[in-house]
Chain A
Amino acid sequence: MGILHHIGQYFLLLVKVFKKPEKKSIYIRQLVLEIEKLGINSIGIVAIISVFMGGIITLQLTYNMSNPLMPTYIIGLGNRDTLILEFSSTVLSLMLAGKVGSNIASELGSMRITEQIDSMEIMGVNSASYLILPKIVAVVFMSPFLFIISVGCGLIGGLITGPLSGVVTVATYITGIKTSFVPFYVYFSIIKTFVFGFLISSVPAYLGYYVQGGALEVGRTSTKAVVNTSILILFFDLVLTQLLFK
């Protein structure tokens, strides 16, 4: 019953969120602020993690696929496909669920317990739409860009680590990146980032919006938001992979 109650309340909140905004100009201003706060401010951490992960994937592929019958360009190819198919879409979304999701849950939770949301409601503002809609749009809009940045940085990470550690030459690595490229993998991952972006923003927003209690509950909700969003990301990864690769 608890889960059904939450699912029902979540969808009712979404109905409220997607109602016509009171004043478009205010919402656009909010959207720009959220794009900066949730999207652009995440580029740094996305780039750093992706560079390191690209390097690590390159080394792992080298050590685990060291076979004289296997061409070395497979390292570049493997790194590229791992980044595109899973790391830059799913793993990065899990990381963003921690950074962006906890931020959204704690921000809305704090606003709820300090009566700022009540204050908006009394003024006649649709608080759900004003506070949550710009966040959802910002995260969904920025997710594909973060994905592209992540893939680029991951490939650069492999390009630096491979030749530096002597496991592959620059030319061979680049040959691997260009070999057997399947454009559908990119479309597939971009579709995933849209879905994950929606989950990363809407689930923590739902949990934060309905917080009851004090600072302790805000902290708990923030953790709960990260855990629940992560589980949902993995679940939808499974569903989308099954659906889109059929």
Chain B
Amino acid sequence: MIEIKNIVKSFDGRDVLKDVSTVFEKGKTNLIIGQSGSGKTVLLKCIVGLFDIDGGAILFDGRNNESMNFQERGLLRQEIGMVFQNGALFDSLTVEENVRFPMDMFTEMTMKEKLFRLNFCLERVNIRDSNHLYPSELSGGMRKRVAIARAIALNPRYLFCDEPNSGLDPVTSILIDNLIKEITAEFDITTIINTHDMNSVMEIGDNILFISEGEKCWEGNSSQIFTTRNKKVDAFVFASPFSKQLKEIKKMEGDE
């Protein structure tokens, strides 16, 4: 479980996050949604420690990130897996070396054990016969899946995904979403996904946090989001003419 309390963050005097508090539960896919520039990526980067917060607290299962020393933070980071928007795979390493990288850096496993673990991770994300390919030789969807395999290589307690299905076709997006949801449940980890993809919201949103102009605007789950009276959420969810039509049809069905 990750608990954030009254997080404040500003850049050059401009408040990007204003007093944001919530709880991201274990074993669930927690989504942060909001328009571009609303502060969701900054929030995610604050939680993983890429940005220092100006105020508030971040608790990882009760452990305060801010009061940890350099070594403790290093150990905490080994419990974190992160999937970046473009995968952020190391260009100079093959698929196998990318997934093995955290094991090489932080474990005393033998090569046999590492190979067993990396093959398990790659099979888990349905990547086969690509161990010796470089990231430039992979498709967007494969790159995301290898990034997920690398993120779960050390059995993380916390998984963060920054727009995991951006730039992917709808079919691959759903595959990636389902994969993240399955892994979250299977390994009982706390997963936080930063997205503005409405399919993800509908498919895997166990707990959804809506951010608008740096503030927490709404919180709920995927079924509640369609019935909320919050105007900002409504405008975001039903932004396209197609979704508006869909909403009207649903409403008419409900009236009948």
Contact = CB atoms under 8 A, between A and B. Distances in A.
Contacts of A118: 50, 84, 88
A111 B91 CA distance: 8
Interface string A90-133: 00000000000000000000110011101101111100000000
A122 B77 contact: yes
A122 B82 contact: yes
Contacts of B101: 123
A111 B73 CA distance: 23
A144 B219 CA distance: 63
A122 B49 contact: yes
B75 interface: yes
Contacts of A23: 104-106
A180 to B, nearest CB: 49
Given A22-B106, A23-B105, A123 B84 contact: no
Nearest to A29: B104
A243 interface: no
B30 to A, nearest CB: 18
Given A26-B104, A26-B105, A122-B82, A116 B90 contact: yes
B21 interface: no
Contacts of A125: 105
A124 B82 CA distance: 12
B104 A123 contact: no
A124 B78 contact: yes
Contacts of B77: 121-124
Contacts of B90: 111, 116, 119
Interface string B84-115: 11101111000000000110111000000000
Contacts of A119: 82, 84, 88, 90
Nearest to A123: B102
A213 to B, nearest CB: 15
A45 B23 CA distance: 59
Contacts of B146: none
B8 interface: no
A125 to B, nearest CB: 6
Contacts of A22: 105-106
Contacts of B91: 110-111, 114, 116
A221 to B, nearest CB: 17
A164 to B, nearest CB: 44
B75 A124 contact: yes
A104 to B, nearest CB: 13
A122 B65 CA distance: 13
A123 B85 CA distance: 16
Nearest to A124: B77
Given A115-B88, A118-B88, A123 B50 contact: no
Interface in B35-56: 48-50
Given A121-B50, A122-B80, A124-B77, A116 B88 contact: yes
Contacts of B50: 118, 121-122
A124 B88 contact: no
A127 to B, nearest CB: 11
B48 A122 contact: yes
B56 to A, nearest CB: 20
Nearest to A33: B92
Interface in B180-195: none
Given A26-B105, A115-B85, 12 more contacts: A22-B105, A115-B84, A115-B86, A116-B88, A119-B88, A121-B49, A121-B50, A121-B77, A123-B78, A123-B105, A124-B74, A124-B105
Interface of B: 48-50, 73-78, 80, 82, 84-86, 88-91, 101-102, 104-106, 160
30 contacts: A22-B106, A23-B105, A23-B106, A110-B91, A111-B90, A114-B86, A114-B88, A115-B85, A116-B89, A116-B90, A116-B91, A118-B50, A119-B82, A119-B84, A119-B90, A121-B49, A122-B49, A122-B50, A122-B77, A122-B80, A122-B160, A123-B78, A123-B101, A123-B102, A124-B73, A124-B75, A124-B80, A124-B105, A124-B106, A125-B105
